[in-house]
Structure 1
Amino acid sequence: MSDLLTVLSALGFGVLSSIIPLFNSELYVGVVAAAARPQITAIAVLAMAVGTVAGKLFLFVLASRGSEKFGVGKAMNGEEKPLPATRFKLWLRQTSDLLMAWLGDSRLGPLTILLAASVGIPPLFVVAVMAGVARQNIVLFAVAVFVGRLARFAVVAVPIALAAH
């Protein structure tokens, strides 16, 4: 029963950490890898990746529906007031515009999501929201998040599991 609880808690923590970034999924995977048997660790890593996909899909769908409702991502017909120019605001605007362009592209979008899911740059939380606004393909989004997070969690878990057992 404790093995089942380990796997189910990894699934739940995957969902929680993907919606509330304060909860660190890599730390949780490391603890599971140190405490559980290697076979259970592998299943827990898989469950954590699935949970992360579920949470990120939740953010993706919310952002997608919100952008439809509020017209985000559409041209403002020149009615948008420019922000006072500072270097940081200019850099932030240019970076978000570039990220939206990448996420809106059918080839660069999944690669950007995969990079965010595996390396963390750009942050996956931000990418999930922006991908929803950019109308990225939801299946490609889910697959890229799953593959990236599975790889990231495996990179964390394998050395710890080998050292602990």
Structure 2
Amino acid sequence: MTDLLTVLSALGFGVLSSIIPLFNSELYVGVVAAATQPHVAAMAVLAMAVGTVAGKLILFVLASRGSERFGVGKALNGDDKPMPTTRFKLWLRQTSDLLMAWLGDSRLGPLTILLAASIGIPPLFVVAVMAGVARQNIVLFGIAVFVGRLARFAVVAVPIALAAH
């Protein structure tokens, strides 16, 4: 029963950490890998990846619906943008425009999401919201997040599990 509880808590923590970035999923996976048997750690890694996808899909859908309701997608793609007043604001505008262009592309979008999910650059929280606004394919979004997070969590958990057991 404890193994099942460990896996279910990993699933729940995956959802929580994907919606509230204050909760660190990598740290959680590392602790589970150190404290449990390797087969339980493997199931927890899988559950954490599934939970992360669920949480990011919530952000994706909310951003997508919000952008439809409030016309955000039109504002982001319009030409009536005010000029930024500082270099940082200019850089931020250019970076967000580039990210929106990548996420709006059917080939670059999933690759950008995969990079964000696996290495964290750009941040997956931001990418999930922007992918929803950019109308990225939700199935490709989910698959890319799952594959990227599964790889990232495995990279964290495997060495810790091997060292602890």
TM over 0.5: yes
* Pairing of 1:14-163 with structure 2 (within 5 A): 14-75=14-75, 80=80, 82-163=82-163
Distance 1:95 1:4, change over 3 A: same
Q: Unaligned regions of 5+ residues in structure 2, if any? A: none
**Deviation of 1:73 (Å):** 1.4
Aligned-partner SS, 1:23: coil
Identity %: 89
| Deviation by residue 1:94-136 (Cα, 9 ceiling, x = unmatched) | 0000000000000000000000000000000000000000000
Distance 1:30 1:77, change over 3 A: closer
Aligned mates of 1:99, 1:135 — CA distance in 2:
13
Aligned-partner SS, 2:157: helix
Aligned mates of 1:83, 1:141 — CA distance in 2:
32
Displaced runs of 4 or more, over 2 A: 75-78
**Deviation of 1:81 (Å):** 5.3
Q: Which residue of 1 aligns with 2:5?
A: 5
Aligned mates of 1:86, 1:164 — CA distance in 2:
50
Aligned mates of 2:13, 2:154 — CA distance in 1:
16
Normalising by structure 2, what TM-score?
0.96
**Deviation of 1:83 (Å):** 4.3
Q: Is the 8 A contact 2:84 2:90 kept in 1?
A: no
Aligned mates of 1:156, 1:110 — CA distance in 2:
23
The alignment's C-alpha RMSD in Å is: 1.2
**Deviation of 1:25 (Å):** 0.0
Return the structure number with greater helix share: 2
| Deviation by residue 1:69-109 (Cα, 9 ceiling, x = unmatched) | 0001115866x451442100000000000000000000000
User: Which amino acid in the other structure matches residue 152 of structure 1?
Assistant: R
Normalising by structure 1, what TM-score?
0.96
Q: Unaligned regions of 5+ residues in structure 1, if any? A: none
Q: How many residues align?
A: 164
